[in-house]
Amino acid sequence: MSAPATTIRETVTMTHAALFDLDGTLVDTPRAIVETFAAAFGALGESPRPEAEVRATIGLPLEQAFAKLLGVPQDDPRVGEGVAHYQEAFRTVILPRARSLVFPGVEEGLADLQDHGLTLAVVTSKFHASADALLTAAGLRDRFAVLIGADDVTHPKPHPEPGLTALDLLGARPGGAVMVGDTTHDLRMAHAAGMRSVAVTYGVHGRTELASARPSFTARTFTEVVDHITGVLPADDVIEALLDDSTHHIEFNGHLTNHVKHAVVALAGLGVQPQRVKAYHDNYIRMTPYGCAVEPARPAERTIDDDTWLDLLGRRQDWAAYVEFFDRREREIGMAALLGHYMPALLPGWVGALQHAAIHLGWALDAGNRRMALEGLAYLAYAHVDCHPERAAVSAARAGERPMETLLRIAAFWEAEQPGLGAWVEEQVGDDSAAAAGVHPELLRSGLQSRIARMLATGHPLMYDLPGWTAAEDPAGTWDDLAHLVTLLYLAEPGDFLLLHLVTALHAMRTVSDALPPEQRPAVVRAYWTGVLGVLFSRAHFAAPGKLAALDALFASATDDVTDPRWQREWEWHIARAVEEEEEHNPKLVYVMRDLWHRTGGRSVFRVAAGQFTATPPLPVTFEQPPAD
């Protein structure tokens, strides 16, 4: 069963979540489970299995447990019979005793967590109905907003799907969540899903076995669990304060984007401690990697309203006034309606500010922060650079083409047409080109942004000859294909600053797409693809089709076992490196790649790309001129 689609909430807020295993974590059922297995084996005409063997299967789905204890495949008829006998015995052996089996401190602790603003869920290897009955009989069911059983997912624990499904339903991110459990299955699921984990030693697995799964914290009692969670997750109000900050301008030294909130979202999402994130933030504010400080906020110079909001589109004037405008409108109609109403006009300009305006909005929606989302909308208006999706049309000849086939076709065209095509691009984007007259003076100072703006103004037929996949009504699968495509582009030229922006912008555009009404989502895909081609063409060269095809063949079907501790350690190394990087694009790279790795069930290409860090590019000689803003 696939995870449900995430939808934006009317009020953008960050949700902190605590997920719990059931047996051996909330309810002291292991001994009763041994008795229940014994009753089931008796009904099958089998002798009871040793207690140690039975306890070793606790945490696994019943079918897996019976197959293991019987020594038969899961599709053996006796497995199904055993499960049926177990469920009958469960109703007569465990349910009547459920309230007395609740571990000390659980009832009070769950209430305390809710008082601290956390949303709670149960993620168990029990069938949903059995887990629901046990929680109800124990008097705990009303504490949990979500219950995920083994039959609610395709891949049970330790696969990350149960945890990620619960987070989707809660509207929470892995970086704001913790999983509590008594077995390595719980802990490995948590790590594979990108969550913190708390191991409890009073359940099935002992301290040594639990330590092998590398929990974030180990607790001896449920009270220690609660004390740890309330001491860690609510501290993320530090993160909210950083994202709510309004004391700095969105740019500095002219057109350079103030990226620091993107880094905060990435580091928090990677599970970095809030105080360490704040230190990273404060260091960036004092001195960016470009050698200059972030600039203070500028006051609004006018009042923008619905009649005038398009007048300044792309003119790089009065960002603060745009923020105030979207703030007023959001209070009137809510965030979902705000996005649905204004994004159709803003979407064609997503490439502006080297895609950072779109990144600012999309990552704000990912983090659930209202202030940052309003800033992103304002930045899209302020820095709007039109990619002209109205010039594009879906080609009947490309109806069955897939994204990778489209990329290879365009790469082959470039290879065949060089050097003439590269010379044509240079003619279009050169300082004396006709398109330069329509580019904002500050972008002429920037180098990269001016080339992109001029390429988008001129265009090329290949940019507008759209394949059929850009018109899919449900673009969820298309985004996965595009993620593979842009990651291969980045691996073909690792560390390339422009290509890295396409990766982090994809995460943003996908999040924006999910936040819009379904009928508007295909337009996000089309705008993204048109803009991507504009960026790629502006460089006057293209990755070789042979190299892209070889990388695709290498990674197309390569998948990691997401429960393997080796990959957990590798992600820990990537995160540790990212925290030490002054170049904030590197934490963003790791965050996006880990999200894609989880989302796609461990596609190896994303793990490999996560380690390909970039360096801050030197400023062009045009920066010797003063800013034009």
On the CB side of 117, CA atoms within 13 Å amount to 14
**Alpha carbons 604 and 620: distance in angstroms, whole number:** 36
Nearest in space to 232 (alpha carbons), one of 216, 244, 213: 216
With b for 16 or more beta-carbon neighbours within 10 A and e for fewer, the 479-512 pattern comes to bbbbbbbbbbbbbbbeebebbbbbbbbbbbbbbb
Q: What whole-number distance in Å separates Cα of residue 85 and Cα of residue 496?
A: 60
Residues in contact with 237: Cβ distance below 8 Å, sequence separation at least 6, in sequence order: none
Residues near 203 by beta carbon (within 8 Å), at least 6 away in sequence:
21, 23, 24, 25, 30, 181, 182, 183
Given the residues 23, 28, 182, 366, select the one marked as catalytic. Answer: 23
Other CB atoms within 10 A of residue 294 CB: 20
**527 φ, ψ (degrees, to nearest 5):** -65, -40
Token output for 122? 């149960």
Instruction: Round to whole Å and give the CA distance between 206 and 183.
Output: 8
Bridge partners, residue 465, by sequence: 393
- Euclidean distance between CA atoms 527 and 476, whole angstroms: 15
CB 532 within 8 A of CB 486: yes
Catalytic site includes residue 115: no
Q: What is the spatial distance between Cα 524 and Cα 507, in angstroms, rounded to a whole number?
A: 12
Name the burial class of residue 307, with classes exposed (0-12), middle (13-18) and buried (19+) by CB atoms within 10 angstroms of its CB: exposed
Whole-angstrom distance, CA of residue 318 vs CA of residue 101:
62
The CA angle 339-512-260, to the nearest 5 degrees, is 105
Residue 297 near residue 247 (C-beta atoms within 8 A): yes
Q: The dihedral of CA 508, 512, 513, 514: what is its sign?
A: positive
Spatial separation of the C-alpha atoms in residues 83 and 79, rounded to whole Å: 6
**Best CA proximity match to 121, nearest among 62, 181, 32, 204:** 181
Confirm whether 21 is a catalytic residue.
yes
Contact 239, 277 (CB under 8 A): yes
CA–CA distance, 57 with 54 (Å, rounded to integer):
5
Helix %, strand %, coil % for the chain, to 5?
60, 5, 30
By annotation, the residues acting in catalysis are: 21, 23
